[in-house]
Chain A
Amino acid sequence: MRRLIAFLYQNRLLFAFLILEAISVGLTVRSHSLHRSILNQYTQNSTASLHQFSSEVGAYFSLKEQNKRLNEENARLRSSLKQNYFSLYTQVDSLADTLMARQYIFRAAQVVNNSFTKRDNYITLNKGKLHGIKPGMGIICDQGLVGVIKDVSNHYSTAITLLHSRFLTSGALENTGNFGTVSWPGYSFRFATLSDLPSQILIKKGDAVWSTSYSGIFPPYTPIGTVEDWVQRNADQFVEARIALAVDFSSLRHVEVVENLLLPEKNELQESSNEP
């Protein structure tokens, strides 16, 4: 026993080193799992507020570009207002519209921390639990699909973006309607992969890839990207396409969080069908 203690004492630096490295690896592994470490829950608020400060300062540098984008979006939305349309239909037959019900709610949020160069990338938004944000909601911006909310605190939320090894969603080709899995292989924030496409379909460079309504997280027809090139793996009958992403993740600032009001109902139904 005394020799053991003497041994431990003699090599105390080595052991301290090994313990600290083990802690680091543990933290890394835990942050990769979907359940974020408890520690981050506590530190999130303080780091996020410093990020917000830095983001507010940084926002001035891209003000012009962001204003232009918002302007364009305003114009687009304004032109789709009902009052801009001249009705060709003269008969009025219904007062209350019972054919339409709201399915998606959009909440505007700003990105206060953004990463896009790592293997697994996260963004922090300045809206949280108090604003009605819940984990699992989708995020889109004016350019297209961005990511999914992962954790929320009272005033902030963090999200995994499309640029994350755990992020998978289904994407469909505009022309043929065939769908596959969108994932991110790493390396460049401008490109992602659309895999599991059947090999007999015709693909062209520049084909648009849209989100589908299968997951229920994103509204269908949200742009994801355009086809850049594709390969067929010899071993199977599937085609894998490389797509240029629609969203420029390096200049992400204004985003919208999507809530699908019918999602719980859909999930419940699907689960009950799965039961034997």
Chain B
Amino acid sequence: MKNGILKQLSWFVGIMLSQVLVFNNIELFSYLNPYVYPIFVLSLNAKTSRGGLLFWGFISGFIVDLFEDTGGIHSFATTLIGFLRPRLLRIVATQGGEEFDNLLLTGMGIRKFVTYGLISLWVHHFALYLLDGLSLRSIGSLIIASSLNAVFSFLVILLAVLFITTKKAKR
């Protein structure tokens, strides 16, 4: 139990540091910026309570906000997916996700992980862009920008997850 919490915390710190130090500096075509940190909330243990999901969602978004100087847009978006996660998970899972070993590629299989991850990330990015330029973007450009960026973020997450899990399998 204690080991689990420690593992979760180090996973959290690792994801946050890589987001703040590495991924925030990637700017493809000058406007695609990968946000990989939502994967922490999305991949939290299926037994995590809904209050816990809200808490971790808010905290992870808040930390990114502090470093990106963006007020509260990231905390808004991650709290939203923390709240909606049980519903998002229900799209692909029948028993609230408890039938999977973990909520990543290895536990869910490629098709379910892609569906779950892409939809969740799109919700996250849409909320993010909505709050970022509320009065200044048209709804069309909002949808296009959030969709493109969500796909890009998901590809980065997929690569990172593949990298981590194959390394573990080799050991």
Q: Is the CB of B83 within 8 A of A17?
A: yes
What is the number of residues of chain A that contact chain B, defined by CB distance less than 8 Å?
41
Q: Are A250 and B79 within 8 A (Cβ)?
A: no
B132 touches A119 (CB 8 A): yes
**Closest residue to A185 on the B side, CB-wise?**
B136
How many residues of B are counted as interface, with CB atoms below 8 angstroms from the partner's CB atoms?
A: 32
17 contacts between A and B (CB under 8 A): A24-B73, A24-B76, A24-B79, A28-B131, A29-B71, A31-B70, A31-B72, A32-B71, A40-B66, A43-B66, A47-B67, A51-B67, A54-B20, A115-B69, A119-B137, A122-B69, A188-B31
In whole angstroms, what is the CA distance A116 to B30 when docked? 8
Query: Could you tell me which B residues sit within 8 Å of A by CB distance?
Result: 20-21, 25, 27, 30-31, 33, 50-51, 54, 57-58, 61, 65-73, 75-76, 79-80, 83, 131-133, 136-137
On A, residues with C-beta under 8 Å from B are: 12-13, 16-17, 20-21, 23-32, 37, 40, 43, 47, 50-51, 54, 58, 113, 115-119, 122, 124, 158, 165, 185-190, 250
Q: B76 touches which one: A28, A50, A185 (CB < 8 A)?
A: A28
**Contact of B54 with A17 in the complex, beta carbons under 8 Å:** yes
Partner of A165, one of B50, B54, B136: B136
- What are the residues of chain A within 8 A of B57 when measuring CB–CB? 20
- Cβ-defined contact, B131 with A27, below 8 A: no
Do residues A13 and B51 form an inter-chain contact, with CB atoms below 8 A? yes
Q: Report the minimum CB–CB distance from A211 to chain B (whole Å).
A: 24
Which of these, B61, B66, B132, contacts A118 with CB under 8 Å?
Answer: B132
For chain A, what secondary structure do more than half of its interface residues adopt (helix, strand, loop), or is it mixed? helix
Interchain CA distance A116-B57 in the complex, whole Å: 26
From residue B76, how far is it (CB to closest CB) to chain A in Å? 4
Cα separation A88 to B20 with both chains bound (whole Å): 59
Q: 15 more A-B contacts (CB under 8 A) besides A13-B50, A28-B72?
A: A12-B51, A13-B83, A17-B54, A20-B54, A21-B79, A21-B80, A23-B58, A24-B61, A28-B76, A29-B71, A47-B67, A116-B27, A116-B30, A117-B31, A189-B30
Partner of B72, one of A25, A115, A187: A25
A124 vs B136: C-alpha distance when bound (angstroms) = 25
